Structures are given as structure tokens and as C-alpha cells.
Structure 1
Amino acid sequence: MSRSIIHLNIADFAVAVENNIQPSLKGYPLVIAPLGKPRAVVYDMSDEAYKEGIRKGMALARAKRINKKIKILPPSFNRYEQVMKDLLKETFAFTPLIESGISDGHIFLDVTGSGRLFGPSVDVAFKLKKAFKKTFNFDPIWAVATNKLVAKVATRVVKPVGEYIVAPGDEKAFLAPLPLNLLPGIIKKDLTKLFEFNLFFISQARALTLEQLKILFNYRAPLLYDWIRGIDPTPVTTIYNYKNHSIGKNLSIIRSDHEFSDDTNNADLLKRALYLMVETICKTLRNRRLTGGATKIILYYSDGLQSASKLKLVPSTSNDMAMFKKCIPLLNKAWTRRVRIRHMRLICEKLCQGAIQADLFSAGTKETKQTELILAMDKIHEKFGKNSIRAGLTLTLHKDRHQ
């Protein structure tokens, strides 16, 4: 049976959120970008600003040269994330298979098995569009297709408003006349190589065999070969279920955030903030008698851009010191820019049951002593409060906001 995938896209999501708060901004060129930052770039822009030539990632100084009177608002990432959570609550009534970004206005739903309850996938899309309009004053673009890739291309075709249905079997015909830059996953480097051979449209790229694509793209060739034919078997993966804070049915995540009082690129401050987040996450793990199997660090820069890095923890752990030791190289890997950092987020994934218990034959080892120390600190915190005893590394961070 063909899958039924719905893609909902609230175009220019950050701008749409701000317009709901300040309706007077609607209809004017609007840019979302950090203010007072010398290297600030455009985080989001309205359709009116787009028509004037302003693009995401463009230097804010250049955007100002294009339109000197353009309205500029600083990004409110926490607000966008909260609105995204509220939107997702509306979608859970139709399917548990939901995939979305944290605050980008994109939502995928797999409604393949929901037909008997809610009718055809097109009806579900109409119902969600109506609900978003009534409850949140958003008018999402939507598309229905048999996979995520084709559904996302379809919403790009009808942006900024509209809907599109790609029937099963029509994927290749739908994609054929479209330019290659509409395909999700194709990066600028890929397009440059294809343009060198005068290949600008998807139908033209299909003339290349898999062997020929391997010459240009090496290991990425099989992916490109499938994408230009509308083949995408990837499932709709529930990245974060805001309803019960879980991934899927058996896995969950724990998240900690740190907002710096002043944007910084000081390595010592970043490490101290990281330890504080590790400490918070590991305490939560121990309280729930869990261990973490993977961590992810996301850095939010002053200019609105982000970078991230992920690491598997082997063995899984809830030990502050062990996790922090693994996260230091992870921080260095994610920290790829010289721009100051505004916010740091640490996510712990792949949680599993595992109470802290020392190895029967490892008494006196460094790991055992660390575990005993951490458990002793937990008891002190429970009796005398969180600030009764702290790691020296975190003492200078009282001015920053941590949660």
C-alpha cells in the first residue's frame, strides 16, 4: 500500500508569528535578524522583503542597503519554539507519526493508517489547515504525496500559499519539469557540479546513469539517483513528541539550555556552561533511573545561525564527569565559527533503564569513586538544597540564565 504523507509548511514562520503579535506589520517588508551585531545575518524575512531581493543568510548590512527603511525585529527563538509546540498538539489527534523542526514551521505527518478514522489524507490536510487558521491565525501551505521528498517539493512549488496533491505513480512526472534546486538535500556544491554539465532541471539530470553520478558525487550518487526519480523511503520519524516528551514509544530525550547574559566566544565560559547542563541532565537521569546513550550540542550564534554535533555514548551513562568528558570534544566539533555564541543547548537521547550500580569487581577504580562522589553530592543537595555544594567549574555562571 502506498504511503500517505502530508507536509504542512507555514511560510516565513518567524515572520508569521511576529505578525500575529503585531498585526500592523503585515504587508510591509520585514526582516528577522539580531540587532546591534556587526556580522548579523537575516534569520527570516517576509514575502514582501523576499520580492525586494532579501534572502535568508544574507548579511543584515546588505539587506539594509537594499531597503534602508526596512523594518527589523530581533529573533525570539523561545517564542517560535513554544508556538511550534502548540501547533504540534493539534496534529496528535490524527496520527502519532509526526516529524517537525524545533521552530521552523515545517511538519510531516504519516497518515497511512488513519483513513478509517479520519478519511482520506486530503481531508486530514484540510482539517489541519482549518484548525491552524482558526486557532493560530496561520494559513499553512500543504501537500500530500507518497513520501516526504515529493511532499516537500510540492509545498515549495505552491509557496507562499496553496496546496498540491501528487497521486501515487505520478512522482516522476511531477518532478520532471522542475529545477534541481527545489529538491531537498541537494546542496550548493551539488548544483555547481550539475550546472557545469548544463543540467538545470530534474528531467535533464535523469539522463545520467548511476555510474556516471558516482564519478561526480561518489558515495552520494545513490541518493541523488533516487531523489531525481522521486524515490524516498525514509520514514516520518517522531523527533520530539511535545505531548509526552518522548521519541517514539520507548525512547525519550532530556534537554538543558543555557542563555549567556552576554554573547561570548570564551572557551572557559562555554565549558562551564556545558558542565552545568551536563549536571542538570545527569541528575534528571539518575532520578528517573535512566542512562543516556547519545548527546547532541546545538550552538546558537549572535547572527542567528546555528551549528550542531552529535555523539553516541558507549557505554551509556548518567555520570556527570563521564558525560562531561565525552561532551568536551563534542563542543569543539560543533564550535566551527568565530562569531559569538548567544545560547547553547544540550540534548541527551537514546535513554534506557539502568540504575547506577558499581561493578562487583571494580571496587576502588576511578569510575567507582566518581559514582560514589556524585551520589554523595545528590544526598547533600536533597538535604541542604541545590546550591549547598557545587562543582567549582560552574561558580562564575550565576549571571547567565540556565534551565
Structure 2
Amino acid sequence: MLMQRTVLHLNIADFATAVERLCDSSLRHRPVIIGLPVARSLVYDMSDEAYREGVRKGMPLWRARRLCPGAVILPPRPERYGKAMLHLLKLARPLTPLVEQAPGDGHLYLDLSGTRRLHGPARDVALRLRRQVRGELGLEPIWTLAPNKLVAKVASRLVKPEGEFLVESGREQQLLAPLSLELLPGLGRRLRERLREYNLVRAGQVAALSPAELAVICPGRERFLFQAVRGIDHTPVQPRTRSRGVVRTSHLFTPDSNREDEVRCGLALLVEEVGYRLRQQGLGCCRMSLVLTYSDGISTRRQASFRTILSDNRSLFLQAELLLHRAWRRRLRIRSLALVCDRLRTPVHQLSLFGLVNQRQQRNHALSTALDTIHKRFGRAKLVRGSLLAK
């Protein structure tokens, strides 16, 4: 018999705004919009008061100002929000090894399955954690308990901005049936519009259809829809671990920059760092991700996979440069870059039908290895790329 799952979703509504109000009590009960006050800036976060006026995340700041002219505009401070998030994780991790930080600050999933004998009933754990967050952080979280992440997330949306909700096992579909499809995570705008063409706007209406009927309406998404509207979700709570299977590093520009030479220089620094760490482990990567964060706090992520295993600096930089070109689409200054290499493998140096290609790869790898030896013996500052020198 399978153990019944119990997933706790802890959510601090409008997290960035809540942290700012914690630092400045005069902001309480006033509409707050967080966004860099420059041209083409987007809304990073907003208070519930601003939300009720129509302000939404990702909206152009000029439009948000028109909708809510009395709002206080604050620049985003991701470092401040990151510290608060780390403290939140510190409080949650003693309760279960399965703690997942969901996309966006202020969201945590905890899998409490099998922890009753150690920590007591899940409801008591949730109440205790909320008291700790109140006492140590001064923030007011909402919490929901459900048999899976999807239903717990929907329940949080029902009680937001404050409250609690407990969904018993077996009542998932009953909860979802009358709800708008907009409340279900994973249903994008295009999918909802497609369903609306068939006058399907609530979960219960979609649940009345068979997989075959759903396949006609939304080919390729029928399985997901069939399960989602019934509250079925087998997605595990996935903690972010320090895995040997991932190498990541980041660079913060001080001050923020939109100069191409400075941004490429920062990218080169990241590549040298991840390349060095990969080669020290005798590994290469088959996938790379680049996260670009603008001055207004909005981030863009681009990813690429490779058939060959990359470990030398030149090959890594060429791929990272392509990702930068795909990600950098706005005219705002860039605050930071983060580079992630995963799908790590041990490089296999094979003979190539194209001798010049194989020679070039071997030469690049030998050069990177020689640089590693020099850096290891004399320090990173003794020998650097010409592009990294200040102009």
C-alpha cells in the first residue's frame, strides 16, 4: 500500500513588497509597486492594494503608474529578498529533507509524508512553521495542505493574501470542479483560449470530457489536462541540492551595465570559472543555461544542449555567447549573469574523420589545461584573457 502524500505549500503573498514593508513600516496599507523607475522597466512585484487596481507582474511600469497613480514606486532589491528567502528555507528544512523552493520568491513546498511520528500531525507542523516565520522574520505566510503540489498551489490561490486551507485526500476533484481554469497552474494563456473557444472555462467542464475528446481540442496536452482538472499530480517535491551534476556561477555588475564589451567580459569570467571547475573534476557538460537579470529585476533564461561534451574555455564561451545573444533583448542595463552547466559527462577524445576539427579541439583543450596549471600555481590574476583587461 502506497503512503498517502501530504504536501505543505507555504506562501508569503507579494513577497518582495512584504520584505520592503518590513524594512519601512510607513509602506503598510499603501499601494506599493516595485520596479526600476526608468524607461521600458517592468513591474517586479506589487502590493495587494496595487493588484486590486489592475497592476500585474511583468506589466510595463508606465502602465502600472496610470492604473495606480498613488502608488509608492520602489527599486527592486533582489539581494534583500534573497536573504529573507534563505532564512525561510532555514526554518523549513529541519521539518523534512524534501523542501522545494518554487519559482518566484516566497513559495515553498514541503513533503511531510511519513513525518507524523517525528513532528506530529501535518496541520500542527504548518501552524508551528507559520508562528516561527512570524516571530523570526515578521512576515505573515499563508499555508495549505493537500495530497499533491498542484492542489496545494490552487488552494493557496483561493486563500491569498492570507489564510489557510486543508484539502483532504479524495476531495481534490470536488474542490477544483467549480473553479476557473485560470487558477490551475500549468495552463498557459493560449491553452485557456483554446478551451474557451469550446466554452470550457471551469475545471469541472473539462473533467467531463474523455482523453479522446481532449486530444481533438488540445492535441498533445490531453493527458496533462485530464489529470490536472481532477487534481492528479505525481510531481515530486524536489529539493535544490548541491549536486556534482551541476556547475554554476554568477557575476554581478557594479554598477549595472549595458555596454557590450563589459557584458561579454563578465560572460568570459563566468566561462573561465565553470570551465576550470569542470576540468578539475575531469568532466564536461552537455547542456548550458544562461540567466540574465536586468536592472528592474526581470530575468530571462536561455538554454542549449550539445551532442558533444564541452570542457575547454573556447567551446564553452562560443556557446555562452550564443545564449547571451538570444537572451539580451531589452535596452535596459544588466544587473547580473548566471551560468549553469549540467548533464555532466567524462569527455571522450575520439579520432575524427575531420582531422582539422579534431586537432582544433585537442589544441583548445590543451590550452585550457595549461591555463589551469598556471592559475593553480600562481593565482588567477597572473594570466588573464586580453578581453578581461580594463580598457
| TM value normalised by structure 2 | 0.89
Q: Does 1:380 align with 2:383?
A: no
Distance in 2, Cα, partners of 1:86 & 1:193: 42
Residue 302 and residue 217 in structure 1: after superposition, are their counterparts in 2 closer, same or farther (change >3 A)?
farther
SS in 1 for 2:175: helix
Residue 387 of structure 1 aligns to a residue whose secondary structure is: helix
3-state SS, counterpart of residue 168 of structure 1? coil
Give 1:348's aligned residue. 341
2:301 paired residue number:
308
Matched with 2:274 is 281
Contact 1:141 1:161 in 2 (8 A): yes
Alpha-carbon separation, structure 1, partners of 2:309 and 2:96: 31
Distance 1:251 1:121, change over 3 A: farther
Secondary structure, in 3 states, of the residue corresponding to 2:290? Answer: strand
Alignment deviations for residues 131-150 of structure 1 (CA, whole Å, 9 cap, x no partner) = 11111111111111111100
Once the two structures are aligned, what percentage of the paired residues are identical? 39
Give, in whole Å, the separation in 1 of the partners of 2:171 and 2:380. Answer: 60
Deviation sequence 1:279-331 (CA, Å, 0-9, x none): 11222333455544432111223444322122335444442222223323333
Q: 2:29 aligns to what SS in structure 1?
A: coil
Separation of aligned partners in 1, 2:331 and 2:215? 35
Alignment of 1:72-221 (within 5 A): 72-101=73-102, 103-221=104-222
The DSSP-based 3-state class of the residue aligned with 2:337 is: strand
The answer for unaligned runs of 5 or more in structure 1 is: 399-403
Deviation at 1:351, TM superposition (A): 4.6
- For the 8 Å contact 1:84–1:102, the answer to whether it is kept is no
Q: Structure 2 residue aligned with 1:299, among 281, 292, 309?
A: 292
Residue of 22, 27, 31 corresponding to 2:33: 31
Change (3 A) 1:130 1:351: farther
Kindly indicate whether the alpha-carbon contact (under 8 Å) linking 1:319 and 1:371 is maintained by their aligned counterparts in 2. Answer: yes
Contact 1:171 1:229 in 2 (8 A): yes
1:164, 1:105 → 2: CA distance?
17
Alpha-carbon displacement from aligned partner over 1:262-293 (angstroms, at most 9, x marks no partner):
44274x55443322211112223334555444
Partner-residue secondary structure (3-state), 2:94:
coil
What is the DSSP-based 3-state SS (H/G/I as helix, E as strand, rest coil) of the residue aligned with 1:93? helix
Number of matched pairs: 386
Contact persistence 1:97–1:110 (CA under 8 A): yes
Q: Which of 14, 17, 34 lines up with 1:15 in the alignment?
A: 17
Could you tell me how far apart the structure 2 residues matched to 1:259 and 1:205 are?
48
What secondary structure, in the 3-state scheme, does the structure 2 residue paired with 1:109 have? strand
Change (3 A) 1:251 1:384: closer
Which runs of structure 2 are paired with 1:41-80 in the superposition (5 Å)? 41-80=42-81
Q: CA distance change for structure 1 residues 119 and 194 in 2, over 3 Å: closer, same or farther? A: same
With over 3 angstroms needed to count, the CA separation of the structure-2 counterparts of 1:177 and 1:120, relative to structure 1, is same
Offset, 1:227: 0.7
1:17 to 1:357, Cα distance in 2 relative to 1, 3 A: same
RMSD: 2.7
CA distance in 1, matches of 2:177, 2:158: 13
Instruction: Extract unaligned runs of 5+ from structure 2.
Output: none
Of the structure 1 ranges 220-229 and 381-390, higher mean CA displacement relative to structure 2 is found in 381-390
Indicate the SS of the match to 1:72: strand
SS in 1 for 2:364: helix
| Farther-moved stretch of structure 1 (375-384 vs 216-225) | 375-384
Shift in Å, 1:54 = 1.8
User: What letter matches 1:93 in structure 2?
Assistant: P
Residue 326 of structure 1 aligns to a residue whose secondary structure is: helix
- Report the secondary structure of 1:231's partner residue: coil
Once the two structures are TM-superposed, the CA of residue 91 in structure 1 deviates from its matched residue by 1.4
Query: Structure 1: which amino acid aligns with 2:278?
Result: L
TM-score between both structures, scaled by the size of structure 1? 0.87
Q: How far 1:166 moved relative to its partner?
A: 0.7
1 CA distance for matches of 2:220 and 2:58?
28
In 2, the alpha carbon distance for the partners of 1:260 and 1:209 equals: 56
Alpha-carbon shift at residue 57 of structure 1 (Å): 2.0
Residue 256 of structure 1: how far off its partner (Å): 2.0
Counterpart AA for 1:170: R
